[in-house]
Amino acid sequence: MMFELKERDGLARICELTTRHGKVSTPALLPVVNPNYLTITPAEMRDRFGVQALITNSYIIKNTEELRVRALENGVHSVLCFDGTVMTDSGTFQDHVYGSRQIDPQEIVKFQADIGSDIGTILDVFSEPGFTKEEATRAVDVTVERAKAAMAVKGDMLLAGPVQGGLHGELRQRCAKELSALDMHVHPIGGVVPLLESYKYQDLVSVIVESKKGLDPSRPVHLFGAGHPMVFPLAVLLGCDMFDSASYAKYAREDRMMFSTGTRLLGDLRTLPCHCPMCSRTSVEELKQMSKMERTKRLAEHNLHTCLHEIEVVKNAIHEGSIWELVEMRARAHPMLLEALKALAKHKGFLERFEPASRRAAFFYCGPESYDRPTVTRYQERCYTRYRKPKTRVLVGFEEGAKPYSRTYKGAIDAVTRHVDASFIVASFFGPVPVELDEYYPIAQSVIPKEVDAEVKDKMLAVMENHAHGHGYPLALMWEGEGTLEFLQEMIPGSPGAFDLDKLRCRAVLDMQFGKGAGDILEGKKIELVKSQRTGKIRNVLINGLHALSMRASDGRFTLKLEGAKLLMEVLPPPHMRVVTEDEPADFARKGNNVFAKFVTECDPEIRPGDDVMVVNTKGELAAVGRTLMNREEMLAFKRGIAVRVKDSED
Ligand code: GUN
Ligand code: ZN
């Protein structure tokens, strides 16, 4: 099976799934097609809606004589008149709801293979959120057992193994791990329909996160039964790739219209607040006067358009790096979504492992929850563990001000420096920011309102107070204008300082980006800076006459050149910032070719997507430098796709 990562924003990702019936770009919504009631036909879905994949229930086909015969004879694609990817479900949900227990787990998998399903599903055991640990354990054990048994009958059909375990995090993780160890292709997260129906999005977050923690990151994850656009952004943020739903049709039958921000009864609408092809050519009045059947069809069209549209919105957010902003905006649509958003704070540690080094889009403050994004936590942690303060005795702090800080406070910095050697920080939303880091992501690339929410103010204050206790400067004071200068002149005998913003910037960015000590590559060397004529920003850093680093204007981080990597190797011992590949692929990288995930044998666990790294062979010899698309666990799991995009190499 092929599942290839193309673009990402944290766990949210755009991938390409290849099946026998073509490619599916994910995130994807697979509309549920009930072959007994075709509200919208699969042919229409393909031609008018651009649907690449749909899902149908093999159990219904198997139990409807006429459908079964045709499906076994001509295949499920022919029955549905659809030549795209067809996924089939096994009847688990029906078995659970109607309690019939009449489906044979082996038979239903074999049947799916026999009718030519592209992705079949095992007969997992549905685990209710209310299940006790014992009940959920049984659901997990039987599900895993059936997954193993299904291997013998699946043929060359791709197989989906749903993660069960109710609300028991450790069971979800175990189920996910045991299924990942099998040669399966898709991992739905099952047992969540009751959570979706009762708006228990906070529990949904826990279930997805615990499942993801146990799953092989290279496998597509499907959220079973999620078909309301309201949950797509949140679920994608947590790493879900596929959705399925009958809601577009079910809601339509009840005269309910789906929107990305919620659901409305047609009867309550004055006009149609939508520009989909259906709504553009119809009015509320016309809809109300239609026959029930015609109206259901029209509303189903609108609902499907809305769902597919929201998937596109999500994809664009991943592309530009604004999935968090989208999730935080959408969370305002429903109080329970907001509650779920707040619950994400508990999982920052996990989310941070996939958090990109920087983003194309600026960090937009959307509300107090923005403070709990992994980007904020990472900045603070790195500042605390990686940043090395300059050796001055005096620290001068500034209140938050216009960006870039070094320009805003230039007058004050110069005035202080004329009198004494000092360092400078700004009390920012992200925590204490040394002025030399004012262009580093996300400091410059952020938009924060002047007045933040009170709870954020408190958190910011706590971080600054913590800094005040541990900064290590003999004298620290806040800048309060001329008075501060006079105070310093009285306190300390004058001798002009050596504050050199450029040099401090290079050193601080090296430490923050590559690890504590990376800045030492500048020590005792001849450093030349090439600056932009237009902006005055550092462009290139030459060390002993060799081009070692380039600074990106977009995120204030360095693009590593081979010469810079050679120096970093001397100050950062393995495994720091290294991606290890077998020797042959390393030689291939040496010639300027990208490094594919399947050739990666080891990787520094601190490496994040978007990091500039060193590609080395099994002997630890440098082959190339480049930018990662994955973190360690992904590089080791993915069998396809690029792990490191090579930017500079020897040959
Ligand atoms: N449809 C909705 N939920 C589930 C589930 O947990 N398992 C299966 N197989 N199908 C579902
Ligand atoms: Zn519409």
331-382 pLDDT, tens per residue? Answer: 999 999 999 999 999 999 999 999 999 999 999 999 999 999 999 999 999 9
* Secondary structure of 338-394 in HEC code, one letter for each residue: HHHHHHHHHHHHHHHCCCCCCCCCCEECCCHHHHHCHHHHHHHHHHHHCCCCCCCCE
Residues whose CB falls within 8 Å of the CB of residue 427, separated by 6 or more in sequence, listed in order = 397, 398, 399, 400, 460, 464
Average pLDDT over residues 15-25: 97
Minimum-distance ligand 1 atom for the alpha carbon of 225: 2
152-211 pLDDT, tens per residue? Answer: 999 999 999 999 999 999 999 999 999 999 999 999 999 999 999 999 999 999 999 999
- 225 in contact with ligand 1, CB cutoff 6 A: yes
- Output the CATH code of domain 2-251: 3.20.20.105
- 124 in contact with ligand 1, CB cutoff 6 A: yes
- 244 in contact with ligand 1, CB cutoff 6 A: no
625-636 pLDDT, tens per residue? Answer: 999 999 999 999
pLDDT value at position 492? 84
Cα(13) to centroid(ligand 2), Å? 27
Q: Is 47 a catalytic residue?
A: no
> Residues with beta carbon < 5 A to ion ligand 2?
274, 276, 279, 302
- 126 in contact with ligand 1, CB cutoff 6 A: yes
Phi-psi region of 463 (alpha: psi -120 to 50; beta: other; left: phi over 0): alpha
- 239 in contact with ligand 1, CB cutoff 6 A: no
Tokens of 423: 């360092």
Minimum-distance ligand 1 atom for the alpha carbon of 126: 6
Catalytic: which of 89, 203, 241, 604?
Answer: 89
Sheet holding 2-9, edge to edge: 2-9, 12-19, 22-26
Q: Decide: 344 and 369 in contact? Cβ < 8 Å.
A: yes
Q: Which ligand is nearest to the CA of 108?
A: 1
**Mean pLDDT score of the chain:** 96
CATH of 514-649, one of 2.30.130.10, 3.30.70.3040, 3.40.640.10, 1.10.20.140: 2.30.130.10
- 121 in contact with ligand 1, CB cutoff 6 A: yes
Cα(259) to centroid(ligand 2), Å? 8
pLDDT value at position 593? 97
For residue 268, is pLDDT > 90?
yes
**Of 22-26, 279-283, 491-495, 596-600, minimum mean pLDDT range:** 491-495
pLDDT value at position 496? 86
Residue to probe by mutation, ligand 1, list 159, 193, 223, 243, most atoms within 8 Å of CB: 193
Q: Decide: 86 and 52 in contact? Cβ < 8 Å.
A: no
Tokens of 492: 């300390």
DSSP output for 393-433: SEEEEEES-SSSHHHHTHHHHHHHHHHS-EEEEEEETTEEE
| Alpha carbons 401 and 616: distance in angstroms, whole number | 43
Cα(641) to centroid(ligand 1), Å? 30
Tokens of 596: 């594919």
Banded model confidence at residue 302, pLDDT cuts 50, 70, 90: very high
385-404 pLDDT, tens per residue? Answer: 999 999 999 999 999 999 99
Share of the chain above pLDDT 90, in %: 94
What is the maximal distance between C-alpha atoms in the chain? 97
606-622 pLDDT, tens per residue? Answer: 999 999 999 999 999 99
- Output the CATH code of domain 363-499: 3.40.50
- Parse the chain into domains and list their residue ranges: 2-251, 363-499, 514-649
546-577 pLDDT, tens per residue? Answer: 999 999 999 999 999 999 999 999 999 999 99
pLDDT value at position 596? 97
For residue 412, is pLDDT > 80?
yes
